[in-house]
Amino acid sequence: MDPDVSRETPSTPEVARRAFPSDRLPVAERYAELLASDGVVRGLIGPREAPRLWDRHLVNCALLGELLPDGASVCDIGSGAGLPGLVLAIARPDLTITLVEPLLRRTTFLEEAVGALQLSNVEVHRARADALHGVRTFDVVTSRAVAPLGRLLDWSMPLVAPTGALVAMKGSSIGDEIEGARADLQRWGCAEPEVHVLGEDWPVSPTVAVRVAWSDPGRVSWPLASSPAARGTAGRGRSTGKRRRKS
């Protein structure tokens, strides 16, 4: 199907027209079709999620764009089916998006989706997050349902530029996650996390996001290796090395 669909599909809810610019809504509709078809067949989206793709997934992710600066470079780690990375690329064509995902079947879907949707502002990188540590930095590093905040810091902060931030989609327990990650936040030299609730006046479930920046951007130097205390597989990788700062 042509990605430049000329009319809105009947299943497109009114809230989608609010979340996406009018000239980008046909692209969002095409992406919803891909998720509901290939995404389900390939096991990237559960069958029960297909009827509620707009409210629970596409609009939910599009709201995150409110926290991203104009023209930002964005890294979406553990991108999966492209949530939130592909949604942000559709809703915000001013952004440059790098999707980082280690599993072949997922990156295959992402590459096919990028081609079908003609998204020239998206790069798909098949790797764990730590493969880019010390190699690339971004204005924003985002993720959705990838890991608790403590582990997420180890995978994300080595990718965050000095004036950038981690901006991750989270659930209602983010307050507890922040308290549980106090030692990690201090170890990385992070500023106090900011919790944002987006879309409270929208007819969908609000999007909860946490934003974590550096406490002193001027003292962060690159290449920045990752924490020696990194755990698990990052977005899913494992980190090694030490954090370095300017003396």
Structural domain includes residue 203: yes
Structural domain includes residue 229: no
Question: Is pLDDT at 13 greater than 60 in this prediction?
Answer: yes
What is the model's pLDDT at position 206?
92
Structural domain includes residue 170: yes
What is the model's pLDDT at position 14?
92
pLDDT in tens, 30-48: 999 999 999 999 999 998 8
Structural domain includes residue 41: no
- The DSSP letter of residue 165 is E
Structural domain includes residue 225: no
Structural domain includes residue 6: no
> Would you list which residues are annotated within the binding site?
78, 83, 144
The mean-pLDDT minimum among 81-90, 198-207, 238-247 falls in 238-247
Structural domain includes residue 228: no
What value does the mean pLDDT take over residues 208-224? 87
What value does the mean pLDDT take over residues 117-135? 96
- Picking from 86, 85, 122, 126, the residue whose alpha carbon sits closest to that of residue 103 is 126
Question: Is pLDDT at 142 greater than 80 in this prediction?
Answer: yes
What confidence category does residue 224 fall into, taking pLDDT thresholds of 50, 70 and 90? low
The mean-pLDDT minimum among 55-64, 75-84, 185-194, 227-236 falls in 227-236
pLDDT in tens, 49-67: 888 899 899 999 999 999 9
- Dihedral sign from CA coordinates of 125, 130, 134, 138: positive
Structural domain includes residue 25: no
Conformation bin of residue 241: beta by default, left when phi > 0, alpha when psi is -120 to 50: left
> Would you list which residues are annotated within the binding site for S-adenosyl-L-methionine?
78, 83, 144
What is the model's pLDDT at position 23?
97
Domain count, the chain: 1
What is the CATH number for 100?
A: 3.40.50.150
- Picking from 199, 137, 145, the residue whose alpha carbon sits closest to that of residue 171 is 145
Half-sphere exposure of 54 (CA within 13 A, CB side): 21
Bridging pattern class, strands 160-170 and 138-144: parallel
What value does the mean pLDDT take over residues 170-181? 96
What is the model's pLDDT at position 86?
98
pLDDT in tens, 57-103: 999 999 999 999 999 999 999 999 999 999 999 999 999 999 999 99
Whether the CB-CB separation of 205 and 55 falls below 8 Å is answered with yes
Residue numbers of the domain that contains 108: 67-219
What is the model's pLDDT at position 223?
58
What is the model's pLDDT at position 229?
39
Distance CA 127, CA 237 (A): 8
What is the model's pLDDT at position 48?
87
Element (DSSP H or E) covering residue 59: helix 59-62
- Picking from 34, 35, 30, the residue whose alpha carbon sits closest to that of residue 8 is 30
Average pLDDT, the chain: 87
